[in-house]
Every structure is written in structure tokens, then in C-alpha cells.
Amino acid sequence: MPFTKPSMPDKPVKLRIKKGDTVCVITGKDKGRRGLVLSASPKTNQITVEDVNVAVRHRKERPSKVVDSSGQPTIVPGGKISSNAPMHVAKVMLVCPHCDRPTRVGYAYRDGEEKLSRRKYRVCKHPECGKSLDSIDA
């Protein structure tokens, strides 16, 4: 087998997607699905999305190391266990809450403040929308 370089984790970039956003999956097995972002990890560029990229494990029932009051080990239930697996941020697009479409994310500054204290907020890139994706008062 030829030597293949081990795949390095992505260089961290600033994520344009945050926990609590609604995203639309643009590629892969869950293409077209929408869901809420449950967690975002900027270090690995991975996010977990509710009901997207669900990994199902078939587990056998087994005793755990935790012992209950009668001295018997507690049983970890078996069966089909589904969990949301992390996926790459590039597979999703943020859905604009104003125009309800997947959108690219731009940044804008709040007006009327000193340059150093100005806060960036995210805006919808659709030219006819352009509204803020964050709650500005926060």
C-alpha cells in the first residue's frame, strides 16, 4: 500500500455559524435538511446539528462499573442508540431568519460608535434582504 499522509485536522478558521443557529445542509446524505445547531467547535471546524448526520449504534446491554445500593452493577441499556455525529461546517449554510433562505454570511458594524468599541454583527448576503442575523441588542 502506498504511503498516504495522515489527514491533518483543518486549520481553525472563524466559524460563521454559532450554537442556536438554524442551518440547511447543502451536501451529503442529509442534503436539504434543516436543523438547529447544537454545538460548534471552531478548533476542528465541526458542528453538530439536530437530526442531521445521525449515527445509529447497535449496543448490547451490559453492566456498568457503577454499583447501585444493593451491590449489583447497574445495567447500561442496549438496543439502537442514535446520536448526532459532528459534521464539517462547509456542509451547511446558515438560514436567514428574515428571508428563510440559506445564505452566505457577511459582517457589518453597528453605526454610531467609536471604532474600537464597535461590535461586528452578522448580516444576510442576499441583496434584497441584508438584515442582521444576530439580535443586535444582545
**What is the C-alpha to C-alpha distance for residues 121 and 111, in angstroms, rounded to an integer?**
11
Which grid coordinates belong to 61? 446491554
Out of 41, 50, 129, 132, the residue judged to bind Zn ion by CB under 5 A: 129
Contact 126, 103 (CB under 8 A): yes
CB of 138 to Zn ion, least distance (A): 19
- Give the x/- contact pattern for Zn ion in 80-119, rule: CB under 5 A: ----------------x-xx--------------------
Backbone φ and ψ of 84, nearest 5°: -80, 115
Number of residues engaging Zn ion in binding (CB under 5 A)? 6
CB of 97 to Zn ion, least distance (A): 8
The answer to whether residue 123 forms part of the interface with Zn ion (CB under 5 A) is: no
Note the residue count of the chain. 138
